Amino acid sequence: MVETEPPGFGSTQDRPPGATSDEGAAQMLQLTDIRRDYRIGPVTTEILRGVDLAVGAGDLMSIMGPSGSGKTTLMNIIGLLDRPTSGRYVLDGRDVSKLADDDLAMLRNAHIGFVFQSFQLLPRLTAVENVSLPLVYRGTNRAEMRRRALAALERVGMGERTGHRPDQLSGGQKQRVAIARALVGEPAVVLADEPTGALDGATAREVMALLASLNAEHKVTILIITHDPGVARQCARQVRIHEGTLVERTAGAPGASGAAAARHPASGTEETEEDPGASSAPPAIDPNPAREPTSRRDDTGEILNPAAPT
């Protein structure tokens, strides 16, 4: 499934010159002119006004914006919890913008790993049971489910506390369990919504470091939605959302494409949330500043994939 070449997209997508077709095709998700309106009575409120976004396999990307900017709505759409009013959303080679509810549930299960600000663990279940949950809805047998859940907990450094319930865990530990749950199904993309929002500074740094290392070492594609510039800066790619539109501002991503950035050791292993990791890196092929404020749907590939314009 993951290897499938996105039909209809491979051709329109400009690729970095040196990339093999395999890498170039690995565009995990591609949003084109996504709009989302809410209609309350006669009043229509536009939350998303034409969002274009491409996330490559192995990207570590942040979407930053103040509350009310539409980032939650965007995340719900990317996470297949909500459907756009119009626009095209291709996830792992499949157009998912018009699917039925059940299909979306199956796709969420297979392709999306959620990490929430408030952890959203089921209080009655132990860590390992919480982590197993996505596999339940996939029909994995119990032994395999347990094996994979334990492996996922091991990966996030929670191998010692698998039998604990959420109320026996600290905030940071809960978020690690939640990350393990997001990873257990080997999703195409991990969507983290304010993953450090409920954590204190030190713990927040640990969690960010974990996400970064997962991205660097295991090539997990991670999309972090945040309002915290410190968090955003640790991501190789950064976009801002403002009044329903996206603005790419990858200041210091070392690689051109997300995939390249992820492979670069420096971007994945940054230890501080401060400048050095991000801004001291050599400026990449920068997004055209002239276009920045109006970065809209016109030339999808070019703007959203920084590698393209060269």
Partner 1 sequence: MTPGPRAMSRAFTILAANTREAADSLRRARLRTVLGLVGIMIGISSVITMVSLGEIVKAQARKEFEALGTDILVVRKSFEVSSPEQRAAVVEREDAVALAPEVASIAEAAPRISGHGAFRHAGREVGHGAIQGVTESFVSVNRLSVRTGRFISDLDINRTWCVVGADIAAAMREAGTDQPVGTLIEAEEQLLTVVGVLEPHQESYALPVQVEANNAVFVPITTAARIVNNPEIDVIVARSRAGVHHETVAADVRAFFQARAPHLPLDVVTAKELIARMESQMRLLTLLLAAVGSIALIVGGIGIMNIMLVSVAERRREIAIRRALGARQRDIRSQFLIESVILTMTGGVLGVLLGLVATWTVCRFTQWEFLISGLSVASGLGTATAVGLFFGFQPAHQASRLDPIVGLQGE
Chain residues that interact with partner 1, rule: CB under 8 A: 76, 79, 81-82, 101-103, 105-106, 108-110, 114, 116, 118, 120-122, 124, 133-134, 136-142, 145, 181, 185
Distance CA 217, CA 207 (A): 15
Residue with smaller CB distance to partner 1, 191 or 235 = 191
| Min CB(112)–partner 1 separation in Å | 8
| Min CB(74)–partner 1 separation in Å | 12
Strands 60-64 and 237-242: parallel
Residue with smaller CB distance to partner 1, 108 or 161 = 108
**SS3 letters for 112-138?**
EEEECCCCCCCCCCCHHHHHHHHHHCC
Distance CA 30, CA 178 (A): 25
- Nearest by Cα to 153 from 190, 199, 120, 184: 184
Centroid of chain to Cα 46: 23
Determine contact, residues 183/155, Cβ cutoff 8 Å.
Answer: yes
Q: b/e per residue, 231-261, with b = 16+ CB within 10 A?
A: bbbbbbbbbbbbebbbbbbbbbbbbbbbbbb
| Min CB(86)–partner 1 separation in Å | 19
| Min CB(152)–partner 1 separation in Å | 13
Residue with smaller CB distance to partner 1, 8 or 122 = 122
Residue with smaller CB distance to partner 1, 133 or 211 = 133
| Min CB(133)–partner 1 separation in Å | 5
Residues 6+ apart with CB under 8 A from 16: 24, 256, 257, 260, 307, 308
| Min CB(96)–partner 1 separation in Å | 13
Residue with smaller CB distance to partner 1, 92 or 248 = 92
| Min CB(190)–partner 1 separation in Å | 13
Distance CA 264, CA 260 (A): 6
**HSE (CB half, 13 Å, CA atoms) of 214?**
28
Determine contact, residues 135/166, Cβ cutoff 8 Å.
Answer: no
Residue with smaller CB distance to partner 1, 13 or 120 = 120
For residue 110, give the 3-state DSSP assignment: helix
Residue with smaller CB distance to partner 1, 109 or 173 = 109
